[in-house]
């Protein structure tokens, strides 16, 4: 079975229509191996992350929410932004900042918005979705959620996305997708979108109630509790049902120069 997807290559401009199979990519009627391409992020819009939308993470922090400054669990989605400088791509390297031994790898599903979404009703939410992609929300480990974690989450290259966007009609039920994380080919974490506090339609409704989501933006469904760590030399691969796998190698910051090329 092959899935219709959108991808961006270094050798082309704009998004390309591709078909993704188990062993090859079909593009312009020809078959290619996955590593035949130099992949670019299929996303150039704003990436919005969501906290406490996986039940396990919410439950782990429930006692903290009874304390100041919260006093109660969050009633609306808690969002943050992964800015443009964080965008990275499939098979590209991720630089770990000097002085930091390891970073968190947060495997998650990205909802790609297909048209301007304002005050969307839950029952209409899928009409505003173009498709879905895999995201590794990389972060420097931190203990507090009381203030924006800009220094921890907004580092260059800290948001690998891709390899492609699978169109929504190819995904039978995005609220029941398994997410696997592998480190150096060893399975280290398993998650599922069926464990979301807010389903995908509900999340789109609650977010678009107070802000506009534009075509090309990505809304992350959440991040897992107790994320795994990656150190220089590790390779992280994230697999999601019906979408594929996103793979990146982590390196010391001083082995990269501007543009992501190794020294």
Other Cβ atoms within 10 Å of 35 Cβ, number: 11
N- to C-terminal Cα separation, the chain: 40
Of 48, 43, 45, which is closest to residue 211 (Cα–Cα)? 48
pTM of this structure? 0.91
* pLDDT for 262: 42
* Class in CATH terms, 45-255: alpha beta
Q: Is the pLDDT confidence value at 247 over 60?
A: yes
| Domain coordinates in residue numbering, the chain | 45-255
Q: How far apart are CA 88 and CA 135, in angstroms?
A: 10
Tokens in use for 223? 């991040």
pLDDT digits (tens, 9 = 90+) for 92-127: 999 999 989 999 999 999 999 999 999 999 999 999
* pLDDT for 33: 93
CB 107 within 8 A of CB 113: no
Calculate the average pLDDT of the chain: 89
Phi-psi domain of 218 (left: phi exceeds 0; alpha: psi -120 through 50; beta: other): beta
Those residues whose C-beta lies under 8 Å from the C-beta of residue 119, and which sit 6 or more positions away, are 208, 209
Tokens in use for 213? 């989501």
Tokens in use for 137? 């929300």
CB 95 within 8 A of CB 76: no
| Residue at token pair 């229509």 | 17
pLDDT digits (tens, 9 = 90+) for 131-190: 999 999 999 987 665 556 778 888 999 999 999 999 999 999 999 999 999 999 999 999
Residue 257: pLDDT band (50, 70, 90) is very low
- Say which residue, 226 or 221, is predicted with more confidence: 221
């Amino acid at each position: 079975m092959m899935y219709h997807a959108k991808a961006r290559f270094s050798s082309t401009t704009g998004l390309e229509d591709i078909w993704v199979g188990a062993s090859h990519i079909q593009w312009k009627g020809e078959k290619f191996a996955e590593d035949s391409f130099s992949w670019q992020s299929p996303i150039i819009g704003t990436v919005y992350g969501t906290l406490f939308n996986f039940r396990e993470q919410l439950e782990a922090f429930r006692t903290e929410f009874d304390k100041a400054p919260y006093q109660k669990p969050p009633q609306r989605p808690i969002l943050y932004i992964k800015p443009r400088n964080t965008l990275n791509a499939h098979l590209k390297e991720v630089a770990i900042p000097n002085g930091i031994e390891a970073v968190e790898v947060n495997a998650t599903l990205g909802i790609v918005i297909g048209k301007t979404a304002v005050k969307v009703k839950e029952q209409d939410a899928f009409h505003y979705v173009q498709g879905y992609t895999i995201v590794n929300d990389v972060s420097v480990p931190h203990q507090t959620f009381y203030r924006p974690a800009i220094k921890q989450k907004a580092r260059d290259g800290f948001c690998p996305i891709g390899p492609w966007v699978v169109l929504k009609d190819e995904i039978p039920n995005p609220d029941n997708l398994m997410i696997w994380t592998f480190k150096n080919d060893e399975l280290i974490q398993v998650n599922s979108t069926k464990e979301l506090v807010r389903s995908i339609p509900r999340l789109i409704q609650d977010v678009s109630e107070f802000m506009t989501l534009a075509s090309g933006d990505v809304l992350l469904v959440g991040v897992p509790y107790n994320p795994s760590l990656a150190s220089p030399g590790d390779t992280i691969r994230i697999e999601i049902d019906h979408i594929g796998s996103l793979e990146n190698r982590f390196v010391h910051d001083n082995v990269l120069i501007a543009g992501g090329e190794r020294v």
